[in-house]
Amino acid sequence: MTDYRIVCTEQTGCTTGGHITAVGTGTETNSASQRYTVQQVYNLMDSGNTFHTYGAGRRANVHKWNCGCGVGTLRSSADSTTANNLDNLRICHWK
């Protein structure tokens, strides 16, 4: 099993707010080495792999989540800092 660190996100809006559509993973905060769609993340999770974010010295696990508009997306665990929230990570910029 692999533990992936999410360092950036791709997001879109829906009627109840935005949701994650894809993520970038890697070991460097400012550089993603791999792009995964939400469906690919779901498949990897179903195979026993894990995803997390890191910010302000704290790790937050990432889980499957259904957006209020009915779309499957991702959510980070709640904790005492917003620095590791998926919604607060930088937006991915792929070349």
Question: Using CA atoms, how far apart are residues 75 and 87, in angstroms rounded to an integer?
Answer: 8
- State which residues form the domain around 44: 3-91
Sign for the CA dihedral angle at 25, 21, 18, 42 comes to: negative
pTM listed for this prediction: 0.89
Give residue 17's pLDDT. 60
DSSP structure class, residue 60: E
Give residue 22's pLDDT. 94
> How many domains would you assign to the chain?
1
For 6-51, what is each residue's pLDDT tens digit? 999 998 865 556 788 999 999 988 889 999 999 999 999 999 999 9
C-beta separation of 90 from 8 below 8 A? yes
